[in-house]
Copies of this chain bind each other. A is one copy, B any other.
Amino acid sequence: MSQLSIRSQSHNYDVVIETGVRHQLDKWITKPYSSVLIVTDRNVSEHYLQDVVTSMEKVSTVHTALVPSGEASKSMGKYQELLDRCIETSLDRQSLIIALGGGMIGDLAGFVASTYLRGIDFIQMPTTILAHDSSVGGKVAVNHVQGKNLIGSFYSPVQVLYDIETLRTLPETELRSGYGEVMKHAMLSDSAWLEELLGRSITSLEDNQLIGDLEKGIRVKASIVEKDEREQGMRKFLNLGHTLAHAIEAELGYGEITHGEAVSIGLLFALQLSETRVNASGLPIKDYVNWMARNGYPLSSIQSLQPVALLKRMKVDKKTVNQQVHFVLLNEIGKACVVPIQDDVLLTELHRFQTEVVNV
């Protein structure tokens, strides 16, 4: 079991990582709520909704709301449907929303909670490894047809309850996706932990390894976000690996590759750039490529993409300033910086990435 306290601008909250939490919600949720709405998706509901309902019914009146699985549900339409459901079930200011699912459910249900009656309590129950990242930091949102996360709020949960049993049903590609962000958090913080991770096989993780990795990842995210909730400064470091990752996702078409898998490739590119652009030395590039290969990361997916097309995608990144792409790089493991990179340099580096680094 692991329990962390996170500080947000408005309040402090606990993250509990434990086996079987979903069966003991009456123990973990200590505030009395007049009623509860559990928001989840159809995939997750098949496995875990009944457990959560049974456990919550011991302490409150329970309602449920299901949305289809997948990023398409993070929409204004589903946002409105859920608000209607809040009203239909007469949620009041003493009610609670539980977001049971991955990042999509957390973002969607969190945005509903942040605006229903000008904000009611919500609890995150993440069911993916990837969601260790999104469940901390207070960003909630829905997508607009013109772009991801364009409508949202900064609104933190009152608790994050992580039942690691719910991670045992994840397909391998979701394990890889989650460990993409875990790797990022290790590279931003701690070379000893990174070395440990590079020894792991993600399909044979023990409970204590998984709990430890989630806890360390959340600590890294939390320590940065506590200092810079509104992304004025160092929160930008959390974009390590994401500039290329977003370009890959967009260029391949959303859903063709998981977010965390794209991030894992973006991290490798950031390591390469760190060596050539800020003269970092001693980065474990080779070990990291080998780890990716051993764990089935789709390294080759970058090969089919044109450097010019990737560059064009990177230019519309939120971190682009005055038409110049800004990259988060590493001076060393645990020490990030933001560096502008010129277009021609980027094209050359992308070409080298495809021909040399990825083929190590």
Contact = CB atoms under 8 A, between A and B. Distances in A.
Interface of A: 9-10, 76, 80, 83-84, 87, 111, 114-119, 139, 141, 144, 146-147, 149-154
Contact of A117 (B9, B115, B150): B150
Contacts of A118: 139, 141, 149, 152-154
A146 B87 CA distance: 8
Contacts of A153: 114-115, 118-119, 153
Nearest to A147: B87
B83 A115 contact: no
6 contacts: A83-B144, A114-B153, A116-B150, A118-B149, A119-B153, A153-B153
Contacts of A116: 150-151
A106 to B, nearest CB: 15
Contacts of A80: 76
A76 B144 CA distance: 15
A322 B285 CA distance: 64
Contacts of A141: 118
Contacts of A149: 118
Contacts of A139: 118
Contacts of A83: 76, 144, 150-151
A87 B116 CA distance: 23
Given A76-B80, A80-B76, A150 B87 contact: yes
A10 B153 CA distance: 14
Nearest to A117: B150
Contact of A9 (B10, B84, B146): B10
A151 B9 contact: no
Contacts of A76: 80, 83
A219 B87 CA distance: 35
A149 B119 CA distance: 12
A150 B119 CA distance: 10
A119 B151 contact: no
Contacts of A10: 9
A76, A116, A118 pick with most chain B CB within 10 angstroms: A118
